[in-house]
Structure 1
């Protein structure tokens, strides 16, 4: 299986400029206005007017970059637009229809059909379903129509109004009041209604002392990217459910906010939150993390760890990632990843191996999570993990190892959205299995995926990562083993 090329890594970062909601809004607005005024671009005077009017809308762009109006808060985004229509009594219908056409062309046809067909082999007819998914989508990406529409319609309308106005006769005081209203409106809403972020663990890992010696020779973590908890329960996944029964199941394992893949993986393997490790979306402006990871901890005691995953993860975890190309048919993606995982274990024999399976997540994004295709990918993952675990047993790699199966985040309705912690995103499957792990045990207390890194460190006899906040999942470790 191919590694992700340098071109693919750069392309993935460029795609995130359009995929993540925060950078998409200004990029889309600017592109739409340039296209709408294409014939004026060679006229110096008109170009100057376009630039000056753009400068005048920058405060609004800044407010909407800071405040992204997650989930039900996005319904309030229509209020500033309605206020604009009432106060300024201005609507350029040609610009509005152009913006709507461009937006749905980008999301439904370019992204939902062409992009997914070229990257993972989705049918050319995917647009017949994808438009419905975009309208229902609630995540933090550009495909969140209910968030993006009121934002770009207001910004474009105000920009066009200013462009057409005499700059000397613009009511700047009214404009300032309008910006102050939107800022205070956003601040008050987010402060008082945005209350569903997971609670941050205030102290660093201290529920058990760092171990003097290792409990396990190996830890193997298999992350089924984007596996929604309730859909996993509905799937026919006999092997995974048998592992869970013979191990310890954490039924209330909570992901982090925002629930984006690079954010979640970084939190899982540093033991802390975005405000501390520095990765706040899939769009990573500055490569690398600000804290130690579990891979750094292992190096301190002469042990090795590898993370087998897609190119996005290099942005935070760097050289600890063994990349796989994400440009392949989705029906063979997980098969190829499992074959690569076998080769890594055989050739490198790491003490920690993390494997990211991507087909379930990609199916949710391209076809939706409430359809049979999504369940099918979970069931295929079950069969592939069974094959891999049996291979590990044949190779003698599981004699003193812990196996951890989990998801980084769930997925919401719509285009398999995740980010704002809508229903289906927040709690993820998470269970542990092995000779050092309690059998047939169920933990119903709430835990966080930031506990993964310190738990791995505890099992492998390494110090906790420097800023690890998650408690070690000591409830899963057999008492006679932990007391040795």
Structure 2
């Protein structure tokens, strides 16, 4: 299987500018302005000057997310604009809406996914419905992006028209503009202060429930992350091997992901043991490469042990050289098979004490085809068969004798374009299974836990110090006490 090339890593970062909602809003708005001005043969100087009137609103929408139900409130500033100025360009609105759906439904949902993972050329027939339903703050969230963009373009166009009609820049209704801007900022602040209250509370203390183990409990830990596997859909799927693992091991029924539930954020939290405010990765769009704290890989190096993370190019932005990259440009039916083959090669050639493998097909199917369709279930079932094959290979090669196996998802997925980020229904709680000779059999933990417990638990099992800012408690409920074989 090919590694992710330097070009693919660069392209992935560029794509995140269009995929993540915060950078997309100004990029799309400015791009629409330029195209509209080009086709209408406008004065470019006037366009640039009138653009100044919307800069504060671009900043506002970059700071505030308006997640989940808060996006409904985005229509209120647009209605207020209509009441105050009472003027819109229907041509501009129609142009912007058409351009938006062309980008999301045809360029992204059809061309992009066909070239990257081999979806059908007819994917647009379903993708438009997913864009309308999507609740995540990405470019594919029509209910969030359209009211933002239409307000920004309307504010720009009315002042652009005034300037074109001979009104000077200093003669614009600045008191009205500033008042409207201030009221919108206050509105956004109040909404987020009093209604944006569903984020998980971070654990206040660093890991302290168990002292670090001076001696390794296990020789190896194998972690398989089935990216984007929604818990309720996992329960509906036919997964005999994963069911066997949880019956013969320990299952955490209420394992909570972190906020925001984006892949690079989740992996950074899982393998540092802490939250975005400490490790510094706050979205898939990584502005400054590298985590700010120690990872589990750093901890293992302190005791002369090795860990490898096998995953897509995005993860390099956080974990750097500890990542063995795989290309994400391949048919989705081949992706997880190739990842498992690469995992076998890493274990055969490098034999690390810790291997983390990211299976990506379930997540990619959710994003391209939706999570409430049969294709999504089929990918979970395919992952089950591949995990069984990999564990069998590990046993045949003598690498499971004193090994703990962890199977989990980094986040779930909501309806629409498999949205995840703001902990909508289907995102917050993830499947989590531990299995091995030192793990309790047929044990169910119902209390709520967090994925930030993964790093300290791995460190404990492998006899390494906890990462420097690890906050998650060690998952000791899953471990057998000496002489206890339950």
* TM-score category of the 2 structures, normalised to the smaller one: over 0.9
* 1:188 corresponding residue in structure 2: 190
Q: Deviations over 1:178-201 (max 9, x none)?
A: 111111100100110111101110
* Alignment partner of 1:88 out of 85, 90, 108: 85
CA distance in 2, matches of 1:232, 1:133: 21
* 2:34 corresponding residue in structure 1: 34
CA distance in 2, matches of 1:355, 1:288: 19
CA distance in 1, matches of 2:157, 2:359: 46
Q: Deviations over 1:36-65 (max 9, x none)?
A: 001577x7xx22221121122110000111
State the shift of 1:169 in Å. 2.8
| Match runs of 1:321-400 below 5 Å | 321-400=323-402
SS at match of 2:482: helix
State the shift of 1:458 in Å. 0.4
State the shift of 1:409 in Å. 0.2
CA distance in 2, matches of 1:59, 1:431: 47
* 1:207 corresponding residue in structure 2: 209
CA distance in 2, matches of 1:54, 1:204: 47
SS at match of 2:46: helix
- The question of whether the paired residues in 1 share the 8 Å contact of 2:411 and 2:427 is answered with yes
CA distance in 2, matches of 1:88, 1:11: 41
- The question of whether the paired residues in 2 share the 8 Å contact of 1:262 and 1:316 is answered with yes
- The question of whether the paired residues in 2 share the 8 Å contact of 1:215 and 1:481 is answered with no
State the shift of 1:340 in Å. 0.3
State the shift of 1:168 in Å. 3.5
CA distance in 2, matches of 1:215, 1:256: 27
* 1:123 and 2:120 matched: yes
SS at match of 1:179: helix
* 1:101 and 2:98 matched: yes
- The question of whether the paired residues in 2 share the 8 Å contact of 1:40 and 1:47 is answered with no
If the length of structure 1 is used for normalisation, what is the TM-score? 0.98
| Match runs of 1:177-256 below 5 Å | 177-256=179-258
CA distance in 2, matches of 1:481, 1:32: 68
SS at match of 1:37: helix
- The question of whether the paired residues in 2 share the 8 Å contact of 1:364 and 1:416 is answered with yes
* 1:409 corresponding residue in structure 2: 411
- The question of whether the paired residues in 1 share the 8 Å contact of 2:408 and 2:433 is answered with yes
Q: Deviations over 1:265-320 (max 9, x none)?
A: 00000000111100000000110010000000000000000000000000000000
CA distance in 1, matches of 2:466, 2:263: 23
* 1:152 corresponding residue in structure 2: 149
* 2:10 corresponding residue in structure 1: 10
State the shift of 1:480 in Å. 1.1
Residues 481 and 329 of structure 1, relative CA distance in 2, 3 Å threshold: farther
* 2:471 corresponding residue in structure 1: 469
- List runs of 5+ in structure 2 lacking aligned partners: none
CA distance in 2, matches of 1:425, 1:168: 49
If the length of structure 2 is used for normalisation, what is the TM-score? 0.98
CA distance in 2, matches of 1:54, 1:435: 64
State the shift of 1:481 in Å. 7.3
- The question of whether the paired residues in 2 share the 8 Å contact of 1:226 and 1:411 is answered with yes
- List runs of 5+ in structure 1 lacking aligned partners: none
CA distance in 2, matches of 1:393, 1:452: 23
CA distance in 1, matches of 2:483, 2:283: 38
SS at match of 2:148: helix
CA distance in 2, matches of 1:80, 1:22: 18
CA distance in 2, matches of 1:24, 1:59: 16
State the shift of 1:4 in Å. 0.3
State the shift of 1:334 in Å. 0.4
SS at match of 2:271: helix
- The question of whether the paired residues in 2 share the 8 Å contact of 1:119 and 1:329 is answered with yes
- The question of whether the paired residues in 2 share the 8 Å contact of 1:262 and 1:312 is answered with yes
- The question of whether the paired residues in 2 share the 8 Å contact of 1:436 and 1:481 is answered with no
State the shift of 1:68 in Å. 1.1
Of the structure 1 ranges 472-481 and 356-365, higher mean CA displacement relative to structure 2 is found in 472-481
CA distance in 2, matches of 1:33, 1:68: 23
- The question of whether the paired residues in 1 share the 8 Å contact of 2:53 and 2:155 is answered with no
CA distance in 1, matches of 2:212, 2:50: 59
CA distance in 1, matches of 2:66, 2:468: 33
State the shift of 1:383 in Å. 0.3
CA distance in 2, matches of 1:39, 1:189: 38
